[in-house]
Each structure stands twice: as structure tokens, then as C-alpha cells.
Amino acid sequence: MQDLIDGRLSRDEAAHVERLIREDPELAHTARFYRWLNDQLPKLFEPTDEPLPPRLQALLDELSVPEEPDEPAGAANPNC
């Protein structure tokens, strides 16, 4: 079904799946849901002027700081 919604089926395959959807109300409901979902997902990634929630911003800030190595490169480890 998702391949149909995403346009990845051949013409014959798409026709077959569309026929199954027309014949089965449950499949028709699922197809409507997938089409709605495909329409909504891109909206989650549209640019916005709204600030990020503080918790998410703090996490992004934490992840954007490069980690410092425990020891300088080439330093001998006395425990070895």
C-alpha cells in the first residue's frame, strides 16, 4: 500500500492495488490514512520562526559541543 501511495508501483501493480482498495473498505480507510500521513509529514519539517521547546534546545546544544578527548593524542596510558 505504501508503495502505491509513494508512487513506486508500475502502472499494472498500481491498478491492481487500487482495485483491491475499492473492493475493501478497511483497505480504503488505510489508504486514506497513508495519504493523509504523507501530506502531513512534510509539514513537520517546514521552517518556522517559533523557538524550540527549552528541553529540545538544551539537548541540541549539548549534542553540538564537540567532545574533548580524555588525554592528548599520543599520550601514554600509565594503566597499560
Summarize pLDDT for 22-72 with one digit per residue, the tens: 999 999 999 999 999 999 988 888 888 888 889 989 998 998 887 776 666
- The residue among 45, 32, 43, 25 whose CA lies nearest residue 5 is 32
* Rounded Cα–Cα distance for residues 21 and 25 (Å): 7
- Joined grid coordinates for residue 51: 523557538
Contact 66, 60 (CB under 8 A): no
pTM tops 0.75 = no
Contact 38, 9 (CB under 8 A): no
